[in-house]
Amino acid sequence: MSVRASAAVAARVLRQLRRDPRTVVLLLGISPFLLTLLRGAFDNDLPAFQQVGGPLVGLFPFSTMFVVTSITMLRERTTGTLERLMTLPLAKLDVLFGYGIAFALVGTLQALIAAAVAFGPLGLDVVGSTALVVALAVGNALLGMSLGLFVSAFARTEFQAVQFMPAIVFPQLLLCGLFVERDEMAPVLHAVSYALPLTYAFDALHRVTVEGSLGGAGLADVAVIAATTLLLLAVGALTLRRRTP
Amino acid sequence: MSVEVEGLTVRRGGREVLRDFGCSIPAGRVTGLLGPSGCGKTTLMRAIVGVQVVAGGRVTVLGAPAGSPGLRSRVGYLTQAPSVYGDLTVRENMRFFGRILGEGEGRVDEVIETVALAPFADRVVSRLSGGQQARVSLATAMLGRPEALVLDEPTVGLDPVLRRDLWATFRGLAARDGVTLLVSSHVMEEAEHCDELLLMREGELVAALTPAELRRRTGRDHLDEAFLALIESGEGE
């Protein structure tokens, strides 16, 4: 493990991102755009906008970081740069932490912009602290990153990696409680929702935005998110191989 | 000896790419690894660098088992396809790998100069020609001043002037700095620039000799013909 190497990887990932202004605009612009759409769609039902808007600010970074990381990591695997990195004096964790630092920064920026638009011009109002919503959003960005990193090992092409978004993110969004209360779901799905990390991400956000504070259960949610992120990173490290067939 | 390979067997996709393969590569010399495409050159090089899963045998590099953590800063590897970041400039690529290898700006400029890319240092790699991209990758392999350099077809697709200059660079690294070089090629003429030759065919070592010995043994001046003559006579070591 070396701070210098992790910092080098983080700086490189960010520089690559900056080389691609269109992606940066999409990354930072999509959440405010979707929130604005949502505000317009709920024009005659503002309470409903208040109900879903808050949690969504915190959930967007999860899905974008998932896609960005799975594609970036897949590229690293398919262009041979990962193989080169694995022949250099560099720990696997340096690579993963480097990605973590870079995408935590991007996730923070993304959450700040989404929050500024939502809590500003869109008039979104949450019961709890908006700073806490942003903090949870950053945590969810890291969760999305670690999940993206892990699934990138199972994709051979970018087409496959992109399909992981509807395959892995959408079911979690549907079952996390955002659209339908989990208690009202078919019993099987209710049970399944306990195994999905986004359920805990939504629950924590719901507690802050609707109930006003995390409370003990919310803290437990945060612990689950953190543990899942670390677990996925550890499993992700196993998919970075020094030797390949 | 800088590299010793004994009884190396590698299976890929249910096929034995290398079968009980053995060879030695002397320190401080340029060894050419020659043979037709698909004969197992890349697999052998990957085994020497330590990125290949092997089924059996022993590969020792600079006194340590291939792939040992301690070797990572001592062995440079150039893959056949350029493995650098296409969306970064030449210099940004070099700086990134330099930071990992602990090399500063001075060394970065030096290797960019060595591979004749100074005029393109601030260009994005994906917009460079194939040959230029290959040289960025080569510069990365040389960046950390490795004691051994494993180069998979470094001169393919380059114009004759550049090819000559690169071979001069390789020879200089071996003669001046005592670097051990293993350079593969499927073009027999390249054998001319090597001190030692390893001739491969279908996963086996056909012969290990010098270019002069190859000519003497086969009575052919043209190295391409000499290689054919060697195979047709069925005469190995």
Range of B44-48, B157-161, B163-167, B205-209 with top mean pLDDT = B44-48
pLDDT for B183-225, tens place per residue? 999 888 888 899 999 999 989 999 999 999 988 888 888 888 8
Q: Are B111 and B142 in contact (CB under 8 A)?
A: yes
3-class SS of residue B206: strand
A48 token code pair = 């409903």
Q: How far is A85 from chain B (nearest CA, A)?
A: 9
Average pLDDT, chain B: 91
pLDDT for res B140:
95
For chain A, say whether B101 makes contact (Cβ under 8 Å). Answer: yes
CA gyration radius, chain B: 18
Residue B237: band (very low, low, confident or very high) from pLDDT cuts 50, 70, 90: very low
A242 CB neighbours in chain B (<8 A) are 50-51, 67
B50 CB neighbours in chain A (<8 A) are 87, 242-243
Q: Are A242 and B51 in contact (CB under 8 A)?
A: yes
What is the phi/psi pair of residue A86, to 5°?
A: -70, -15
Q: Is B19 left (phi over 0), alpha (psi -120 to 50) or beta?
A: beta
Q: How far is A149 from chain B (nearest CA, A)?
A: 18
Domain boundaries, given as residue ranges, for chain A: 3-239
B167, pLDDT greater than 60:
yes
For chain A, say whether B97 makes contact (Cβ under 8 Å). Answer: yes
Q: CA dist B42 to B35, B151, B186, Å?
A: 11, 9, 11
What is the phi/psi pair of residue B20, to 5°?
A: 45, 50
Amino acid letter for position B117: L
Nearest-Cα residue of chain B relative to residue A85: B97
Q: Are A133 and A209 in contact (CB under 8 A)?
A: yes
Cβ-defined contacts of A214-221 (< 8 Å, 24+):
A214/A128, A214/A132
Q: How far is B99 from chain A (nearest CA, A)?
A: 6
Contact A87 B88 (CB under 8 A): no
For chain A, say whether B84 makes contact (Cβ under 8 Å). Answer: yes
Residue A2: band (very low, low, confident or very high) from pLDDT cuts 50, 70, 90: confident
Burial class (CB in 10 A: 0-12, 13-18, 19+), A183: exposed
A20 CB neighbours in chain B (<8 A) are 87
* DSSP state letters, B68-130: -GGGGGTEEEE-SS--S-TTSBHHHHHHHHHHHHT--HHHHHHHHHHTT-GGGTTSBGGGS-H
For chain A, say whether B9 makes contact (Cβ under 8 Å). Answer: no
Name the percent of chain A lying above pLDDT 90: 60
For chain A, say whether B74 makes contact (Cβ under 8 Å). Answer: no
pLDDT for A112-146, tens place per residue? 999 999 999 999 988 989 999 999 999 999 999 99
Of residues B158 and B112, the one with the higher pLDDT is B112
pLDDT for A9-25, tens place per residue? 999 999 999 988 898 99
3-class SS of residue B221: coil
- Across chain A, how many H-helices and E-strands are there? 11, 0
Q: CA dist A221 to A62, A192, B74, B132, Å?
A: 15, 16, 46, 51
Nearest-Cα residue of chain B relative to residue A87: B72
pLDDT for res B236:
47
Contact B51 A242 (CB under 8 A): yes
Contact B67 A243 (CB under 8 A): yes
Residue B234: band (very low, low, confident or very high) from pLDDT cuts 50, 70, 90: low
**Calpha distance A134→A1 (Å, rounded):** 29
A205 token code pair = 């956000």
For chain A, say whether B169 makes contact (Cβ under 8 Å). Answer: no
Contact B140 A86 (CB under 8 A): no
pLDDT for A207-241, tens place per residue? 999 888 888 999 999 999 999 999 999 998 888 88
User: Span B122-142, mean pLDDT?
Assistant: 93
pLDDT for A143-181, tens place per residue? 999 999 899 888 888 888 888 888 999 999 999 998 888
User: Span A26-50, mean pLDDT?
Assistant: 91
Question: Which residue, among B46, B97, B138, would best test binding to A if mutated, counting the most A CBs under 10 Å from its CB?
Answer: B97
A1, pLDDT greater than 80:
no
Contact B87 A5 (CB under 8 A): no
Q: Are B219 and B40 in contact (CB under 8 A)?
A: no
Longest dimension (CA), chain A: 59
3-class SS of residue A82: helix
Contact B100 A89 (CB under 8 A): yes
Domain boundaries, given as residue ranges, for chain B: 3-74+148-232, 84-145
Q: Look at strands B56-61 and B64-65 and give their pairing.
A: antiparallel
User: Span B135-147, mean pLDDT?
Assistant: 94
pLDDT for res B131:
85
B85 CB neighbours in chain A (<8 A) are 12, 16, 79, 81
pLDDT for res B144:
93
pLDDT for A176-210, tens place per residue? 998 888 999 999 999 999 999 999 999 999 999 98
What is the phi/psi pair of residue A100, to 5°?
A: -60, -45
For chain A, say whether B51 makes contact (Cβ under 8 Å). Answer: yes
Average pLDDT, chain A: 91
B63, pLDDT greater than 50:
yes
Q: Are A97 and A6 in contact (CB under 8 A)?
A: yes
ipTM over cut 0.90: no
Give just the sign of the alpha carbon dihedral B118, B119, B121, B125. negative
Give just the sign of the alpha carbon dihedral B175, B165, B82, B92. positive
pLDDT for res A236:
87
**Is B3-74+148-232 CATH 3.40.50.300?**
yes
A209 token code pair = 């935005």
